[in-house]
């Protein structure tokens, strides 16, 4: 594999493009929004600068990485030579079904179609194509250049050859692949989201404050971030939609999202990306300040 197309230039898309390009692949980032494409390159450049400053890579490696990336706002041109497409568009089933329908039409028959979905069924996404054997989940973790895991999800019809290829490819990226099956939330979010939801319930019921909940989990369980800070980092809207997928998929009320989480999303308090969630965020500041609402 040499040519990779990444659909979507958001946080996950630019991180995925960064990692492929840094490992010598030719990457085309495709997004309908030109400003989003420009923002993605600015983010990748900033993250590469940080790696250079910390001595992780050289200035030449940074330049070579950037030279491996091209931008395209045309879906048709961007995917026509792709050996692999990694879709990292928004977490909406209708959007993904439309993208995979188009990918099936415009990609060569041999192209593997991967999705970075965090919880939507791979088998469902594959049903929009005529090549379900070549559709697979390739779930990267944020921040992609830092996190070692790639959760690889076999759809109902994914062929074992395609799984092996994606496992090998993940290793070439310096990642540790872990293969799981296609049930709601897969493994990562089936376990992570109930923990986050329980943290929100603990706050909602007044068992403890934001800092106390996060400190218990950081210091007591050696988590790099507490669950409420992590929820802000992931995006509260994303957490809510994954919990809804778990609740609908299993039909089990234990996955029902906490009403406080629902209220916060309704009020537009989405965490880091909106500037406020359980904490408030000031651009350029690393200080963690609990949101006024929870003081």
Alpha-carbon distance of 9 to 7, in angstroms, equals 7
**In angstroms, what is the minimal distance from the CB of 229 to ligand CAA?**
8
What is the C-alpha separation between 208 and 51, in angstroms, rounded? 38
**Which residue in the list 116, 118, 121, 170 is annotated as catalytic?**
118
With CA atoms as reference, report the closest residue to 21 among 81, 65, 79.
Answer: 65
Q: Determine whether 118 is an active site residue.
A: yes
151 part of the active site: yes
Nearer to ligand CAA, 78 or 177 (CB): 177
Q: Which is nearer to ligand CAA, 66 or 147 (CB)?
A: 147
Q: Whose Cβ is closer to ligand CAA: residue 78's or residue 226's?
A: 226
Q: Is 98 a catalytic residue?
A: no
DSSP class of residue 134 equals G
- Measured from the CB atom, is 18 or 26 closer to ligand CAA? 18
Q: Are 203 and 269 in contact (CB under 8 A)?
A: no
Whole-angstrom Cα Rg for the chain = 19
Chosen residue from 6, 7, 9, 47 binding ligand CAA by CB under 6 A:
47
**Sign of CA pseudo-dihedral 164, 170, 172, 176:** negative
Alpha carbon distance 208, 228 (integer Å): 12
Q: What is the dihedral of CA 193, 199, 205, 210, to 10 degrees?
A: -140
* Nearer to ligand CAA (CB atom), residue 52 or residue 256: 52
Residue 79: enclosing H or E segment and its boundaries? helix 75-79
**Can you tell me which residue has the tokens 């188009």?**
102
Q: Which residue is nearest to ligand CAA (CB)?
A: 118
Q: Is 234 an interacting residue with respect to ligand CAA (CB under 6 A)?
A: yes
Neighbours of 61 (CB within 10 A): 14
Q: Given the complex with ligand CAA, which of 160 and 284 has the nearer CB atom? A: 284
Q: Among the candidate windows 137-145, 197-205, 211-219, 264-272, which touches ligand CAA by CB under 6 A?
A: 137-145
26 catalytically annotated: no
Looking at 31-39, 43-51, 61-69, 270-278, which segment touches ligand CAA (CB under 6 A)? 43-51
The active-site residue out of 68, 116, 121, 151 is: 151
**What residues from 202 to 231 belong to the interface with ligand CAA (CB under 6 A)?**
224-225, 230
Give the nearest distance from C-beta 117 to ligand CAA in angstroms: 8
Question: Which strands form 149-154's sheet, in the order they lie side by side?
Answer: 69-72, 26-30, 3-7, 84-87, 112-115, 135-140, 149-154, 176-181
Choice from 2, 50, 148, 171 touching ligand CAA (CB under 6 A): 50
Catalytic residue among 14, 116, 121, 189: 189
Which stretch of DSSP H or E encloses residue 263? helix 259-266
Interface residues with ligand CAA (CB under 6 A) are 47, 50-51, 54, 56, 118, 141-143, 145-147, 188-189, 224-225, 230, 234
Give catalytic residues, as residue numbers. 118, 139, 151, 189
């Amino acid at each position: 594999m040499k040519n990779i197309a990444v659909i979507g230039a958001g946080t996950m898309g630019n991180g995925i493009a960064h990692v492929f390009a840094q490992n010598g692949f030719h990457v085309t980032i495709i997004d309908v929004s030109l400003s989003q494409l420009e923002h993605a390159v600015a983010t990748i450049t900033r993250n590469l600068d940080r790696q250079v400053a910390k001595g992780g890579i050289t200035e030449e490696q940074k330049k070579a990485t950037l030279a491996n990336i091209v931008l395209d706002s045309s879906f048709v041109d961007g995917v026509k030579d792709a050996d692999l497409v990694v879709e990292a568009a928004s977490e909406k089933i209708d959007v993904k079904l439309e993208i995979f329908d188009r990918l099936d039409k415009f990609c060569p028959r041999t192209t593997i179609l991967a999705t970075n979905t965090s919880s939507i069924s791979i088998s469902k996404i594959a049903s929009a194509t005529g090549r379900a054997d070549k559709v697979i989940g390739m779930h990267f973790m944020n921040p992609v250049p830092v996190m070692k895991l790639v959760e690889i999800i076999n759809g109902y019809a994914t062929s074992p050859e395609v799984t092996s290829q994606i496992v090998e490819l993940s290793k070439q990226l310096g990642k540790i692949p872990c293969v799981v099956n296609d049930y709601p939330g897969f493994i990562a979010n089936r376990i992570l989201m109930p923990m986050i939801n329980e943290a929100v319930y603990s706050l909602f019921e007044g068992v403890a404050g934001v800092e106390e909940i996060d400190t218990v989990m950081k210091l007591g369980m050696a988590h790099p971030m507490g669950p409420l800070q992590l929820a802000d980092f992931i995006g509260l809207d994303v957490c809510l939609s994954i919990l809804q997928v778990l609740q609908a998929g299993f039909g089990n009320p234990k996955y029902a999202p906490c009403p406080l989480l629902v209220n916060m999303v309704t009020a537009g308090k989405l965490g880091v990306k909106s500037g406020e969630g359980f904490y408030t965020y000031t651009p350029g500041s690393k200080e963690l300040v609990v949101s006024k609402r929870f003081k």
